[in-house]
Each structure stands twice: as C-alpha cells, then as structure tokens.
C-alpha cells in the first residue's frame, strides 16, 4: 500500500507520508486515507472522517490499514464532503461559522452538484449533510412549477394523457383548498402555507 505510487491529496498543506498511523496516536491526531472512485487519495483527520457513519464503523471494525475505498464518490464531491466535515465535526449545532459555511455551501450549487452531494452523503451515511443538501433541493423546488421541476431533475414526462389530466386535477384541487380567506384568517396567511388567489 505505502509502496504504490499514488497521488496523495494533501489536506493540511504539509507534506505527509502515506504511512499507516501509529496505534499510540489519539484519534484526533490519527489520519485516515480515503480513496475516491478515480483512485485519488485524501488524507483526512480521523475525527473528521468519522463524520461519515459508514467510515466510522469501518474504522471501529479495524479497517485502519491502507486507504478506505469509496467507489461511489468522485474526487470533486469527496473534496466538498471533507470540507463540510471540517466545518461541522466537533462543533455545536448552533455554531455561527458552521451555519455561514452551510449557507455558502448550497448557495449557488447547481442541481447536479447538489444531487451528487446527496448521493454521497447518503452512501457515506452523513445525515446532517444529507439533510442540508436535501433541504436545499426542497427549497429550490418550492418556488418551481411542474415544468421547472422536470428540467431541474432532468426527467421526461411519461404520463399518458389521462394520467396527466388526473394528477393535474388533483394538484388544482390542492391549490384551491388553501385559498380560504375567511375573516379572522387573514393573519394566518402570513404563516406561509396559504396561497391568495
């Protein structure tokens, strides 16, 4: 493993040999080697790598030698995931920097990037990141109509005309059901889940 000539992605800005970490080092100091699908290797603090439940379990199961292969994750995506861990692992849930990072993280992410992150977070079992990315997609969808959602997911309309009519009718009924503006309910419209005609 250490004798193979591989490109080692330096995460700390300091050159480090890709060696098996000594057992006496604490998990805060120990580094784990992760390998993306292209074979690119990422050296990551064990503390951060445990941001993935899957990797954490593998470490606990004794998988400390060599690189952990992640055949479902590409290097660009893995790089983003590691960034996420560095800003979140070990921090409190209300950490201001972490929230600021999240905002920037999803802000201009394209749908394909978001989907890749969602798939990676799902595979790696990193629930907070999965939630963040799914919420970003949900927020984007919320402001869309049916055609726009199709474009966003890159999905084609495969309904028969009858099926399509039926589901559009149901959609219409749902929009209408929430346009009640009885007196006294005007304030509730500010709650956000009611559409005024």
Partner 1 sequence: MEGLVVLDAILEKLDARDVVMVACVSTRLRSCAFDDSLWRRFCARDFGVSSPVAPNGEPCFSFKATYELWNESFGMYPLPLVKRTKQCWEGISSWLATNFPEAKDTLRKGASEAKLKLVEDTLELKLPMAMRLLYRFCDGQETVPRDTSEHRHLAPLGIFGGYEFYEHVVNVHLLPLDRVVVETREFEAALGSVKSKRVIVAASYYAEKWFFLDSVDGQLYVGSNNVSINGEAFPCVPHTLIRPRVDATWDVPQDALLLWLEEYSRRLHSGMIQVRKFRKARVINLFPEEPPSCSVAITNGVKVRASTVLVPEVSSATGDYYYAYSIRMSLQPDGCLLDGVYYQSCQLYSRHWIIKSKDVVVADVNGEGVIGKYPLLLPNGDEFVYESCTPLPASPGFVEGSFTFVPGRLTKPEGRQFKVQVARFHLEVPEYIF
At residue 165's C-alpha, the angle toward residues 164 and 166, to 5°, is: 90
Q: Which is nearer to partner 1, 59 or 126 (CB)?
A: 126
Binding of partner 1 at residue 183 (CB under 8 A)? yes
Cα-Cα end-to-end distance for the chain: 66
- Nearer to partner 1 by Cβ, of 17 and 170: the residue is 170
Please report where in the chains the tokens 């920097």 appear, as a residue: 97
167 touching partner 1, by CB under 8 A = yes
Contact 47, 28 (CB under 8 A): yes
Contacting residue, 158, 161, 196, 197, with partner 1 by CB under 8 A: 158
Choose one: 48-56, 76-84, 104-112, 157-165; the region binding partner 1 (CB under 8 A).
157-165
Task: Report the C-alpha dihedral over residues 109, 113, 117, 120, rounded to 10 degrees.
Answer: -170
Q: How far apart are CA 142 and CA 193, in angstroms?
A: 11
Tell me how far, at minimum, the Cβ of 84 lies from partner 1, in Å. 16
By CB under 8 A, residue 96 contacts partner 1 = no
The mark string for 106-145 relative to partner 1 (x by CB under 8 A, - otherwise) is ------------xx--xx------xx--xx-xx--xx--x
Cβ atoms of residues 103 and 61 within 8 Å: no
Distance (Å, rounded) from C-alpha 188 to C-alpha 181?
A: 9
Residues that bind partner 1 (CB under 8 A): 118-119, 122-123, 130-131, 134-135, 137-138, 141-142, 145-146, 149-150, 153, 155-159, 163-164, 167-168, 170-171, 174-175, 177-178, 180, 182-185, 187-188, 190-195
């Amino acid at each position: 493993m250490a004798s193979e000539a591989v490109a080692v992605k330096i995460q700390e800005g300091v050159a480090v040999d890709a060696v098996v970490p000594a057992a006496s080092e604490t998990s805060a100091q120990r580094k784990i080697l992760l390998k993306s699908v292209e074979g690119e290797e990422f050296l990551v603090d064990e503390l951060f790598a445990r941001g993935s439940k899957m990797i954490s379990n593998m470490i606990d199961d004794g998988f400390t030698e060599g690189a952990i292969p992640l055949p479902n994750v590409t290097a660009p995506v893995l790089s983003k995931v590691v960034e996420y861990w560095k800003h979140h692992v070990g921090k409190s849930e209300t950490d201001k920097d972490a929230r600021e990072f999240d905002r920037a993280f999803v802000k201009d992410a394209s749908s394909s990037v978001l989907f890749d992150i969602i798939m990676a977070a799902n595979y790696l079992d990193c629930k907070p990141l999965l939630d963040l990315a799914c919420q970003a997609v949900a927020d984007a969808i919320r402001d869309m109509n049916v055609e726009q959602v199709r474009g966003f997911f890159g999905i084609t309309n495969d309904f028969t005309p009858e099926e399509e009519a039926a589901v559009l009718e149901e959609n219409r009924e749902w929009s209408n059901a929430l346009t009640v503006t009885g007196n006294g309910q005007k304030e509730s419209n500010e709650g956000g889940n009611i559409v005024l005609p």
